[in-house]
Amino acid sequence: DTGVSQNPRHKITKRGQNVTFRCDPISEHNRLYWYRQTLGQGPEFLTYFQNEAQLEKSRLLSDRFSAERPKGSFSTLEIQRTEQGDSAMYLCASSLVVIETQYFGPGTRLLVL
């Protein structure tokens, strides 16, 4: 399977704990995006990388959130001191710079108790 992969697929945590999600983009895709989706809504942009560089961050990305893409391949999204409002589906997408089509992974469903 050469699509975008995300791990874990589901995560249940207690309020105040830290969580980290991983995204592996389609091979050779140099752009990687993170989105968040809550029930009944479309995905909302969080941040994106071109290779290792983080080029844009949404205002939704509070200081408890941090994303990295250290080698320009996989990316991690960490949420510190989780809150119940962080419960959502976290989606990763990737694309090529010259072709804007973004392909999504299956998402990580986070539930904060």
User: Site residues (CB under 8 A) for another protein?
Assistant: 4, 6, 31, 33, 35, 37, 39-40, 42-45, 48, 55-56, 58, 91, 93, 100-107, 109
How far, in Å, are 33, 50, 63, 71, 113 from residue 53 at the CA level? Answer: 12, 5, 18, 10, 33
**φ, ψ for residue 85 (rounded to 5)?**
-70, -10
C-beta of 95: minimal distance to another protein in Å? 8
Taking the least distance from each CB to another protein, the nearer of 19 and 90 is 90
C-beta of 17: minimal distance to another protein in Å? 22
Long-range pairs for 47-52: beta carbons < 8 A, 24 or more residues apart: 49/75, 50/97
Taking the least distance from each CB to another protein, the nearer of 9 and 15 is 9
Look at strands 53-57 and 31-37 and give their pairing: unpaired
Taking the least distance from each CB to another protein, the nearer of 29 and 80 is 29
Taking the least distance from each CB to another protein, the nearer of 72 and 80 is 72
C-beta of 22: minimal distance to another protein in Å? 15
How many Cα atoms sit within 13 Å of 93 on the Cβ side? 20
